[in-house]
Amino acid sequence: MNGWELRASALEEQAGRDAMACCQLWPEGSGLVIGSGGSSGGRKWCLQSWENLEQSASSCANWLQGIGVDPSSVRLVNPLPSHHMGGLMPQIRAHQWQAPLVAIAPELMKAAGALLEQHGNLSCGGRNAVMSLVPTQLQRLMNEPSGRIWLKQFQLLWIGGGPLSAELADQARQLQLPLSPCYGSTETAAMVCATDPAQFLAGQNGCGEPLSDVELQLDPASGAVAVKTKRLSPGWLNGHQLQPFADANGWWHSGDAGRLGPAGLELLGRLDGALNSGGATVFPEQIEAALGGVAGVDALLVVGLPDPQWGQRLIGLINPSPGANADEVMALLLQRSASLPPAQRPKRWQLCPELAPNPQGKWERQRWQRWAQDCAEA
């Protein structure tokens, strides 16, 4: 394992070290071992070489130049942890582009007033402030006047790591926030496609066109998004060996269902999280996006429980915002969900004050599905 360094949170460090100790066949070169997944199927410890990470930063720089932004003119703002690919890449980009980097503690992103007070002049010196964040962070900031003011100083806001609801996208357009919905993963060393913020503001949805060093296609059998790029991870630590991600033709099959159209990639949801409701295949991410943005909702998640009539009965879990009236929130969600197709309507809503994504902004769906099952059996 000489040359390969673990990048993990304190809670996962021992698990990462154990996985590294088991592996007996390591590739040549050097880089990082970094966790991927956690929303379903467990954690995988992926290898990403320094060469791949530098290539990713270079590809991102080319994309910026394509929309008229000089990478050396930006100020990178990083509110994500460094054991997360989204928090690691700003450090790589800043070094390569010779651009300043401002690190913001993730907890501060929950305090809009303090955030504005401490980091309210990010565009000083003629620098263009750019940032990657997850939809949960964006939603919290958009809910606060100070947060909206703080966001308006950015020239570019990459948004990824989860679905962007239609209502949140519309709110961002009303404020003229230059969002760039994007798609990428630890396996691909971050972004593989991104939307020009001008096109987003003009009403375009989806994750945009692939970057210059990326090819995308859909698996004809499963509909999964498949990616080919030279910066694909060589594999993940699977017992004594390194398990490659790529198939025989160099394609990585992501497990995300999607569509490819004139505007690029549109994500539908995780194939391994799809639900069977009344004979219809339902992606909970689409339901959450349709219902997202309801006032008074801090977090919302849709899970499925076994049902003899429907196959799986959809249950909506909600964590109301502090001070919100839970009954009023429930009524709004019932009203909003009535406009959805019958198979996509939650059959019951359950208050869940603990509901929140993990520190990486991902939903641990299996965990919350078990929580809902326990509540149903209580």
pLDDT tens, residue by residue, 144-156: 999 999 999 999 9
Residues of each domain in the chain carrying CATH 3.30.300.30: 274-377
What's the pLDDT at 289? 86
Long-range residue pairs from 147-150, CB within 8 A, at least 24 positions apart, any chain: 147/112, 147/115, 147/116, 148/175, 149/116, 149/120, 150/112, 150/115, 150/116, 150/119, 150/120
Bridge-based pairing state of the strands 154-159 and 128-133: parallel
Instruction: Pick 294 or 5 by higher pLDDT.
Output: 5
Q: Tokens 């009965």, residue?
A: 313
pLDDT in tens, 102-119: 999 988 998 999 999 999
Q: 4-270 falls under which CATH superfamily?
A: ANL, N-terminal domain (3.40.50.12780)
Enter the pTM of the model: 0.81
Instruction: Pick 126 or 146 by higher pLDDT.
Output: 146
Percent of the chain with pLDDT over 70: 98
Residues of each domain in the chain carrying CATH 3.40.50.12780: 4-270
The CATH number assigned to the domain with range 274-377 reads 3.30.300.30
pLDDT interval class at 39 (50, 70, 90):
very low
What does the alpha-carbon distance between residue 264 and residue 148 come to, in Å, rounded to a whole number?
Answer: 29
pLDDT at position 40 over 50: no
pLDDT in tens, 267-312: 888 888 888 887 777 889 889 888 877 888 889 999 999 887 778 8
pLDDT interval class at 1 (50, 70, 90):
low
